[in-house]
Structure 1
């Protein structure tokens, strides 16, 4: 069974020692992907729609911008790995505030996934390792 690790400069840098994706056979497993801009690392404040003051309080918060950015980051990682958006088979979504953000997330999700409808799980979690409000964990198929 063929196996490989995949990383790309076209996506945010991982927050730890792990690849953006790992190919095992004809499956592609993406590590958690957030909305930070391409090339940014955990110390950057490069989150679309988010500005914080020096104490970490919100000055600006646009959850829709974060949703669109995380979907775009997933798409780039899939393409850089030799897969595609249409090959997604499973998406796990982590939201830091289900009551505030689920409706917006669900609306934008429906735009991006109207043709391909992978299995989906959405969970609320208390926090993520950077000041983001959404992260996706995905599985896709890939051709050898």
Structure 2
């Protein structure tokens, strides 16, 4: 069985699965969102009196999800530069794609060295987040 990874510096998974699993020379990360590892809050969310999200900041959530991905990579002995493929899930493609894409460009300024990427618009995620990443990395030994 492939070696599971749990990252103490990343938010706890919302289900019964590891943060990542090593298989052969690849590292497969489970879906990772922007929740704060210490408080479980979601950066950039504005909540109304009934507990519903009324507004979110996609740039804040994108930076937070990148930090959480980095925490899992670090716990796995991998680096940011080891990412080879990223699938991005956005709950508001029309409203959030440009903001998310701008932050992506900050973290990956050179398309020639950036990981492959697929971005999907979806209806919802299991917690009140606007973005989730599914990543594959190839750690250098």
TM-score (norm 2): 0.91
Confirm whether residue 132 of structure 1 aligns to residue 129 of structure 2: yes
Q: Detail structure 1 runs of 4+ shifted over 4 Å in the superposition.
A: none
**Which position in structure 2 is the counterpart of 1:85?**
80
Write the distance in 2 (CA, Å) between the matches of 1:7 and 1:14. Answer: 9
State the Cα deviation string for residues 48-106 of structure 1 (Å, max 9, x = none): 11131243433552211101000111011101101110000000000000000000011
Unaligned runs of 5+ in 1: none
- Count of residue correspondences: 139
**Which position in structure 2 is the counterpart of 1:123?**
120
Unaligned runs of 5+ in 2: none
Write the distance in 2 (CA, Å) between the matches of 1:64 and 1:110. Answer: 12
- Given that 2:30 and 2:135 are in contact with CA atoms closer than 8 Å, whether structure 1 keeps it comes out as yes
Write the distance in 2 (CA, Å) between the matches of 1:97 and 1:13. Answer: 24
RMSD between superposed Cα atoms in Å: 1.6
**Which position in structure 1 is the counterpart of 2:30?**
31
